[in-house]
Amino acid sequence: MENYINNFLFTYFPHIAFAVFWFGLITRIVLANKGIQAKSTQIFSDKYVRLGSNLFHYGIILVFFGHLTLFLPESWYHLVMTTETKRTIALIAGSVFGLITVAGMVILLVRSYTSPRVKFNSSFHDYFILFLLVIEASLGLSAIAGTATTSLEQYAALGEWAQAIITFQPDAGALLANHTIQYKIHIVVGLLIFMIFPYTKLMHMLVLPLAYFFRSGYQLVRRPFGTAIKS
């Protein structure tokens, strides 16, 4: 029974999650592309929300790209570094960017309860995705200590599993059979986040212009007859 669950969660479930992700991504962009950015930016005039949002976005994007290194075969990264060096870099970068992400989420959560405007514009989906992200980030940060002390073989197995998934290996789940439950929950929660990503405000991370993060802000200047201009 344990082998069946492990095989389902870490061999088949990743493909289900990515299929749902791509379906949601395509349909959301095609059917609601004009509303994605507007809905996510309507409360950014709150300076604390802006601070928390920038910390969260930069942090989670850098964490995401850090996780992409799992897909690099050993033969590639061994051209410039050893597995031990790669693990050390992952530990340092993961700690820094993970803490930045958590700091941003804490600010956003606090403002969602203390700011009437933010609270009014926040939905159950917003709280739910933040809840999942807090769990995911907490698991990731707590796993760092384990990663530092685990064997290099177990650390390398994480990359081998990721590569086995994208190459559709039928026994990919076996590579994680001996990993701790902490790592396994971290992976499962991460896959759940991928599944619901297209249906949340996080979608604007894919469509929001990079220059938006560097804007100095704006103010509305009222004209006669109720019109407004941005300055």
pLDDT digits (tens, 9 = 90+) for 203-218: 766 665 444 455 555 4
CATH of the domain at 176: 1.20.950.20
Range of the domain at 91: 2-230
Quote the number of domains for the chain. 1
Torsion angles phi and psi, residue 230, rounded to 5: -95, 140
CA torsion through residues 5, 181, 70, 52, sign: positive
Render pLDDT for 112-164 as a digit per residue (tens, 0 to 9): 777 777 666 667 777 788 888 989 999 998 888 778 888 888 889 999 999 99
Task: With beta carbons less than 8 A apart as the criterion, state whether 55 and 137 touch.
Answer: no
Residue 195, both tokens: 């599944």
**Predicted confidence (pLDDT) per residue in 9-46, tens digit:** 999 999 999 999 999 888 887 776 555 554 544 445 56
